[in-house]
Amino acid sequence: MSTNVTNTTIDTETCGSWMLEGAIPEVDSEISGIGAILAFLLSAYFTFAIVLVSYLLGSIDAGLLRPVDLYVHRLPTQRRTSPSWHKALQQCVLLLSDQQIVTGIAICIAGFIGLHGHISVYHFQTVISLAWMSSSVHLSALTMLGDYFRRRPGVLGWRIIGMLLLFVLLLVALVPTASNLWAIWYTAESGKDNGRTSWAIPARCFFFKTWGEGVNPDAPLAYLILILSYLWKIGALFKSSRNVFHRRIRGPYEYLLERILHGEANRASNRREKRKSLSWRYHATMMVYIILLALFEFSASFAASLWLSYVGLVYGTIQLIIPRQQNAWWNNKENSWTFGQIVPLVLLIQPLGAILEHYKPRKQKTRSGRDSLSSVSSEEAYELGSGARSTMLFHRNSSDEFQPTFSEMFAALDVLRPSQRSVEVLDHQIPFYNSILFATIIVWIQISIVVISSIVFWVDADSIGYDTNHNYFFVLAGVGCSIGVLILWTLASIPFSRVFK
């Protein structure tokens, strides 16, 4: 049978033969040309860099920040960038995020059109990686523009439609990756000798077919991450959905734990030597309470969206670069700088033009029109948001000797029912955010993300094209170990932390 897929009918028999022998690779520079790849990578990393710099400089609207951002990361309480730079950066992020969603949808559609022909595993893997990166970066860019979109629901509408379309396309695109034989069986030397490789097998062969090797155990993890990230980030754009989360998911747990802490603190307050009379039940409940509080607050923070983008970017880059290097012996023609490769890079100049267009020197004081990205209402929203921030900063800077202990606070607490809770910061939780224990828990969560993701990245880079990665095992083992260390650290902090006094 011919190993050239272009002139061969794709059916079960031919796919089975290609699984055993491999196929002859063919160049497709429209999908994986050097210019197209670089345009995607530069746009994605540039978008992430702008969002990160804006975060570090305090140029994120106050309504998007949570106690983790203000207390643990100690973000500046006032913008370090001028209003003009703030507008220019936001406009640039808006343009880049739109580019990400449009190009992500376009590359997916191109990949699905290729399925009617003979698009290979290598090129379809490129489609998945590029779309995954576009999705991840676009979600974080939308997070930065959350306040802007909430004031302009009409502007947000078509972008939500685009996000959902890309989400559906990604769900379908991940179907062939459920096969254990997807993108493996790579043998560099044999591929060079006979001109065949499993990377060149038509991707259509893997749709709804596992070829007797079972389902890839990492496939459910990929779907879980994709679905949760979309629910998480799209839900964060709407105050109603965030209130539902606080009242239906977070609220019941906090209410139950606070009721126990309130009862135990009351019993302890009726005894002598109150600090020594706090029960083991109080300490155990407090351990669970502060760990859950840290997890909930970290997941709602802007920092969490940055970590989500970081993981998506690096993971997608590895899935692009390693296969490209493995197949360098035949895909050199895709490195040619043709017209189709230069145009995507030239289009990257557009966001820079947006920065120059919206940036005005401080001496030029002009009124911002209604179409300006950061209108007067946004500035007012920023100032209004600083009220809650000022309250938290007061607690941050207050001396401990003038504040009641945590047990005294819970003894006098009027516990709110879940239906009474909202996204606003509760007064009795502010002292937790200012505690050293809360900060160390947040730091450990971020260290865990770095360690777990680094291990997964290293395993991926070492096993792509050779074996199933088993990322789920390393993720589950890493999460289990990090939670174990977190519990032990919190337990060891009981005699020393003021949280347990």
Tell me the pLDDT band of 290, cut-offs 50, 70 and 90. Answer: very high
Alpha-helical regions (H) of 246-375 = 251-269, 280-300, 302-326, 339-346, 349-358
Burial class (CB in 10 A: 0-12, 13-18, 19+), 79: middle
Per-residue pLDDT band at 6 (split at 50, 70, 90) = low
Answer whether 143's CB lies under 8 Å from 233's CB.
Answer: yes
What pLDDT is attached to residue 357?
A: 64
Task: Name which of 147, 160, 76, 43 is nearest 373 in CA terms.
Answer: 147
pLDDT: is 86 or 384 the higher one?
86
pLDDT of residue 380: 36
Contacts of 113 (CB under 8 A, 6+ apart): none
Q: Residue 500 in contact with residue 278, Cβ under 8 Å?
A: yes
Tokens of 318: 């590895």
pLDDT of residue 189: 54
Q: Please tell me the predicted confidence (pLDDT) of residue 373.
A: 39
DSSP string, 411-438: HT--PPPGGG--SSPPGGGHHHHTSHHH
Residue with tokens 């669970």: 288
Computed over every residue of the chain, the mean pLDDT equals 81
What pLDDT, on the 0 to 100 scale, is given for residue 352?
Answer: 67
Q: Give how far Cα 209 sits from Cα of 109, 122, 179, 199, 274, Å.
A: 22, 17, 7, 16, 66
What band does 297 get if pLDDT is binned at 50, 70 and 90?
Answer: very high
Least confident of 87-96, 125-134, 252-261, 385-394: 385-394
pTM: 0.84
196: which DSSP letter? -
Cα separation, 41 vs 126, in Å, equals: 12
| 458-498: pLDDT as tens digits | 988 888 888 777 788 889 999 999 999 999 999 999 999 99
Cα gap 493→253, rounded to integer Å = 23
Q: How many CA atoms lie within 13 A of 28 on its CB side?
A: 22
Domain residues of the chain, as ranges? 12-358+383-500
3-state secondary structure of 215: strand
